[in-house]
Structure 1
Amino acid sequence: MSAMTAVATPVATGKRAGRATPSRYRAYTVGAGAALVLVAITASALIVSLSDRTDRVRDQTGPVLVATQQLYSSLAEADAAATAVQLSGADENREQRRFYEQALERSTQQIERVATLIGNDPPAHQALQSIAAELTTYAGVVETARAQNKAGSAAANATLTSALDLMRSGIGQDVAQLTSISERHLADDYKRPVANIAVAVLSVVASLVVLVALQRFIMRRAHRLINIPIAVGTLAVLLLGIWMLLAETGQRRDLRSASSNGYASISATARIQGVAYRAKADESLALLGSGAVGSFASFEQGVRTLAARDITSADAQQIRDGLAVAGEGLLFDAARLADSPRERYAAAEMLIRWQRYRDTNRAIQAAATSGDRETARLTATTTGNQAFNGFNLAVESVVQDNTTQFEDLLASAGHRLRYLRVSAPLIPLVALVLMLWGAQMRINEYR
């Protein structure tokens, strides 16, 4: 009897541990669930931020930059055409007059386009209003000079010169300010959302740590190698993190390329057009007897800015072949920026066309300095205009290629994120469902 009373009743330690395990499952589940919800929120916020940045560059900042450069070229073309019309005499060169009117109309349209896209930026709108007002004044002065020229007034050239001074000083400074504002907007849009990226990465890492901890806990308690739903959810979150990293890196690379290749080339060709148009206007002013007292000094300065030396057929072939070509000036710089066969061929043609115009100008200067200004004027208004128009068409071809490249790179940056807008919040939520399913499977074993 005493032996029987000495036997201790076994403690049901297994049952107590079993009852505690579902509670620990639920605790892990709550932690993992909170981490996955955080991933859904932070990943979604990151992708929205990246998408908004790309959309803003593609739909607003980029078009504003392109339109601003086009405005710069159009205003310079108006200058060149106005002086060419004046040079042709009272009868006027109809083609040059048409070029002037078209350039003026394009300028107005480009001002309106920039005003529509620039957004809430008081300094930019103030610059645009100033450009629009000065452009109206400029057009009025040009028409006054035109009327004086038709009437044979000696004041016509001085009046035209005052219009060109307004274009090059007042309007030119406002356009430069507008370009600076637009480029600052582009730089702001290119900034990485570092805070959003850091929070998203940390939330992904935290969720992976919690999910792996839950998987290890289940392995120890249930003596199973792997919980498939939780493993799939963990893999999905890991792949989402890698996907977002690759998308952000690729987007940043495309945006940088759009800036360094696309926009840099657009800006370079716009400067080429601007300097070339100014040089053409200076040529006309020299033949009119105004502008540096009838000399070609201003023209030669513009020529040196474009190309410090003559361009040869060998130079053009080197550019087509993608080989480095020696030379100083905007034209050589633009050729070095060309990074595709199509762009290199267009750049080579642009340089050849400029050299043809340059050679024609030498004949014009030779006639003018020998005292035969009538022959010089006739050459300038016929062969000279034709050569310059050929050069301008070649520049327009380069501009079109550069604009297409710029737009394609911006589109590529946007495409890298197109599926992530939905996937960023969806994948963590799917992983949450899988995690709950996997945990519940183990909890059910204790019922």
Structure 2
Amino acid sequence: MTTLVREPATRAPAAAPAARLRKRAAGRFRGTPGRLRLATVALVVLGLATGVAGAVGVRQRADLVDGAVARSGELTVAAQRLYRALSDADATAASAFLTGGVEPVALRERYQADIADAAAALAIVSGGGAGDGRGANAVARIAAQLPVYTGLVETARVYNRQGVPVGGAYLREASGVMRERLLPAAQELYDAVSAELDEARDDAGAFPWFAVALGVLTIAALVVVQRYLTRRTNRVFNIGLVVATVAAVAVVLWLGVSALVIAGRLEASRDQGSEEVARLADARIAALQARADESLTLVARGNGQAFEDDYVRVMGELAGPEGSGGLLAPLDANGPTREALNAALAEARNWLSAHEQVRQLDNDGRYAEAVTASVGTEENSTASIANRLDEQLAGAIEHNSEMFRQEVRGAGNSLAGADIGVAVLAALLMIGAAVGIQRRLAEYR
């Protein structure tokens, strides 16, 4: 009896699960329903990308406005304050020296306040980062040379109280430290933080091209899908897609208009704020240098021609040829600034006339009268005139600094809630697109 052994049937290899999934997925995207599913995915992805790019961009610009621009503006003000305090200290020390013996209490207190103000401004700038490496190097040089300067001034003061002529040499050496080391370093520091302010302002005011381009691409995709549905279904409008399109247009407009508003505000903060403050600060510092030159010319007692030449040069920059304008020219300044500059220019012309009288008295050998005409408290003394000029410029600087702060705050307010608004609109875009197409898909089941 023959036993038949049944051979096991050869099994056909099972289709790979991955291949089946790919085939099923490919089937889902065939025909009109498949194209509509693909369109849903594309619109949701575009809406998500637009929302993320827009919201993140808004948040970054808001941080730049609130942080970088505001911080850089504060550092710029501190650097100007430092330069001004150093210049005023030099001018005040020279004026105090001219009085001989024990200097007036007001001048002594002003000098001490200047040194304290310079130290405080230096601390603000160094604590704020002081721009790039160039700024940090300038901070280090000022910190090292300021004690040298104050030491020389104190030595000159001691000798002056004792009536020893060598005090004048110490004062001139101190002024040399100020002009050759401290003030150039302060100028370098100011240039560094000003460059940082300009860079931060440019970054904050940059147009969000990537997010807007994504938004425009999303709008174009929505239009294409709606045209496709119109041809397939003979229906003109799809409520969901119309809502999505309106949301996409709103996102693009919000991003574009807010960017233009911010750029305009930041540009105004430059034109009506920081640039005017910089020009006014230059004028104020020039006046202080001229004041120091005038006093040091008298301190030198016949050997101060170099200081007199510098006075003529600085006053030429400040008031222009024959008092015609220079740094004090109103140009296109705003109303309050124009008034302050006109008043300061009038004082500069008075100063030039009063200075001629001081020089005439000194050249005629009437030294004591020349000193009185220079540092006296009378209304027509050059000290009084210089103080009034300084007050006009100080008021204008404060006005334009406030304008800078207002414009920066306005730029920040323009972005308030924009990141949340863009995110909500992007979510509405995605939901509208998905719901609108899903309703058409339901008709194919």
TM-score w.r.t. length of structure 1: 0.86
Structure 1 residue 402 and structure 2 residue 400: aligned? Answer: yes
Partners of 2:327 and 2:205 in 1: CA distance: 37
Letter in 2 for 1:307: A
Contact 2:56–2:419 (Cα < 8 Å) also in 1: no
The residue aligned with 1:8 is none
Partner residue of 1:292 out of 293, 304, 318: 304
Distance in 1 (CA, whole Å) between partners of 2:441 and 2:307 is: 95
Question: Which runs of no fewer than 5 residues in structure 1 stay unpaired?
Answer: 1-15, 312-326
* Rounded Cα–Cα distance in structure 2 between residues aligned with 1:120 and 1:303: 31
Q: 1:99 aligns with which of 110, 135, 139?
A: 110
In structure 1, the residue matched to 2:353 is 359
Assess if the C-alpha contact under 8 Å between 2:138 and 2:186 holds in 1: yes
Work out whether residues 265 and 337 of structure 1, in 8 Å CA contact, stay in contact via their aligned partners in 2. no
Counterpart residue type for residue 176 of structure 2:
D
Q: Distance in 1 between matches of 2:310 and 2:31?
A: 91
SS at match of 1:433: helix
Give 5+ residue unaligned stretches, structure 2: 1-26
AA aligned opposite 1:306: L
Check the 8 A contact 1:279/1:299 in 2, yes or no.
yes
Quickly say closer, same or farther: Cα 1:434–1:308, change in 2 above 3 A.
Answer: same
Residue in structure 2 matching 1:343, options 333, 337, 341: 337
The worse-fitting range, judged by mean Cα deviation, of 378-387 and 292-301 is: 292-301
What amino acid maps onto 2:327 in structure 1? L
RMSD across aligned C-alpha pairs, in angstroms? 2.4
Matches within 5 A, 1:141-160: 141-160=152-171
Is the alpha carbon distance of 1:106 and 1:293 closer, same or farther for their aligned partners in structure 2, counting shifts above 3 Å? same
Q: How does 1:179-258 map to 2 (within 5 A)?
A: 179-192=190-203, 197-258=208-269
Counterpart of 1:270 in structure 2 is 281
Q: Cα distance 1:196–1:357, how it changes in 2: closer, same or farther (>3 A)?
A: closer
Structure 1: 4+ residue segments shifted above 4 A? 192-196
Judged with a 3 Å threshold, the aligned counterparts in structure 2 of structure 1 residues 393 and 378 are, in CA distance, closer, same or farther, namely same
Q: Percent identity?
A: 24
Question: What amino acid is aligned across from residue 219 of structure 2 in structure 1?
Answer: L
CA contact (8 A) 1:286 1:293 kept: yes
Q: How far 1:295 moved relative to its partner?
A: 6.6
Tell me how far apart the structure 2 counterparts of residues 414 and 300 of structure 1 sit (CA, whole Å): 45
Residue equivalent to 2:388: 390
Q: Which of 52-61 and 67-76 deviates more?
A: 52-61
Q: Which residue of 2 aligns with 1:317?
A: none
- CA shift digits 1:339-390 (9 cap, x unpaired): x222221222222222233332222222112211111111212133222211
**Are the aligned partners of 2:85 and 2:118 in contact in 1 as well (CA < 8 Å)?**
yes
TM-score for both structures, normalised by structure 2: 0.86
Assess if the C-alpha contact under 8 Å between 1:254 and 1:409 holds in 2: yes
Q: Describe the superposition over 1:406-447 as per-residue Cα deviations: whole angstroms up to 9, x where unpaired.
A: 212222222222232222222111211121222222233344
Question: Counterparts of 1:106-117 in structure 2 under 5 Å?
Answer: 106-117=117-128
CA distance, structure 2, for counterparts of residue 195 and residue 387 of structure 1: 45
Whether contact under 8 Å (1:48, 1:421) holds in the other structure is yes
Match of 1:304 in 2: 316
CA contact (8 A) 2:64 2:203 kept: no
Distance in 2 between the 1:211 and 1:391 partners? 65
Matched letter for residue 30 of structure 1:
V
Deviation, 1:228, is: 1.7
Bigger Cα displacement from structure 2, 247-256 vs 292-301 = 292-301
For 1:10-29, list aligned pairs within 5 A.
20-29=31-40
Q: Which range moved further: 133-142 or 353-362?
A: 353-362
Which residue type is aligned with residue 236 of structure 1? A
